[in-house]
Amino acid sequence: MAELTICQIVFVGPGSREDAGFRHSYDVLVDTYEADEDLSDPSFYRMAGRMAHHMLYTAMREYDCYDGYLWAPFDTLLNIPRLQQFNQDYFWYHSPFGEYVYNPGLGDQAGNQNKTRHAPPANISPDPAINLTATWRGWGPDWWWGEPHVGVAVCMRAFEKVPAHMREHFASLTNGTRLMGGSADTMYIPGRHRQAFVEVLGLFLETDCFLEIATPTVLHLVSPPGEPILFVDHWWIWNPPFNASFVRQKWMEGMEVDTFHTFHWGDEGEDGVWRGEPRHIEDVRTLFAESAARQGVEWTSRSKDH
């Protein structure tokens, strides 16, 4: 079992969250790059999180001393006993080319390799040569591909500046020039690839390429040939339960949850102020103990009395 060592947790975001109801909190590393949101124009929604990869870029540039970087939003649940099983020498992502990390909870090797028992992988884009902007049909599933302001046509301007050997390797995986699109809510970057990752991510930040095209595409461009990308069973959910019950439900279905978004540690009250729900803390502690037992690993959880 690998040991997941967290040397420092860096919170990245705006200097103040008063406007969002977070009147009691603050962030360590301030980054508000294009964080404004305007949903009034249905032809171009300026979403607050569309450029959040600038935060990742800032954090990795400012903190260049770590063996690895685990990136996740504040409302993503990380199943720590599971992530301890992941080799920190490699990238982690729900890649369609990823390798599954063995989990006794899924049974024997055949059970672990069964794709139907894993979360859906990220998607490969349509052919960028297609005029996706002209055929874009508005907001819906996979809307980002053809969106004229942040989609594939915009992202290709950055892609074409990436070193040729990276593009050629990526094309060998995708059977042609393609981009990657998927959740950017869980990603691990080994420290030895930090410099290359930051440099390539910087090319995409010279455009308005959407977060969930830019980050997975960069990861696959930078990951060297012959090195595995470890598959994270990451789930992006729209319906309740937005708490530990979701993980237990997936266990009952014979699947695993390494991470999921969104986890509601609390909710906004009628007065517009977000408040945490203390019962979730103890429940997550219990969940971690259950997860460790499911995998047959030792686990020591601090109780609420310590």
- Cα radius of gyration (the chain): 20
Q: Quick one: three-class SS letters along 254-266?
A: CCCCCEEECCCCE
Contact 64, 194 (CB under 8 A): yes
251 close to 105: Cβ distance less than 8 angstroms: yes
Going residue by residue through the chain, which has 306 residues, state the pLDDT in tens, using 9 for 90 and above: 455 555 577 777 766 554 454 454 555 777 776 777 777 877 777 777 788 898 899 999 998 988 999 999 889 999 999 999 999 999 999 999 999 999 999 999 998 999 999 999 999 999 999 888 887 777 777 888 998 989 999 999 999 999 999 999 999 999 999 999 999 999 999 999 999 999 999 999 999 999 999 999 999 999 999 999 999 999 999 999 999 999 999 999 999 999 999 999 988 888 888 888 899 999 999 999 999 999 898 888 655 544
- Which residue reads 């970057």 in tokens? 189
Q: Which structure tokens are listed for 40?
A: 């009034």
Instruction: Identify the CA nearest to 255 among candidates 88, 94, 30.
Output: 94
Cα dihedral: 281, 287, 289, 294 (round 10): -170
* 100/113 Cα distance (integer angstroms): 7
- Between CA 226 and CA 90 the distance in angstroms is 11
- Judged by DSSP in three states, 22 sits in strand
The beta strand positions in 107-249, using DSSP E, are 123-124, 180-181, 187-190, 229-231, 234-236
Q: How far is CA 294 from the centre of its chain?
A: 24
pLDDT of residue 16: 58
CA angle, 193 as apex, 168 and 122 as ends, to 5°?
A: 60
Is 304 in a helix, a strand, or coil? coil
Sheet (strand 234-236) strand order: 76-78, 259-261, 234-236
Q: Which class for 290: exposed (0-12), middle (13-18), buried (19 or more C-beta within 10 A)?
A: middle
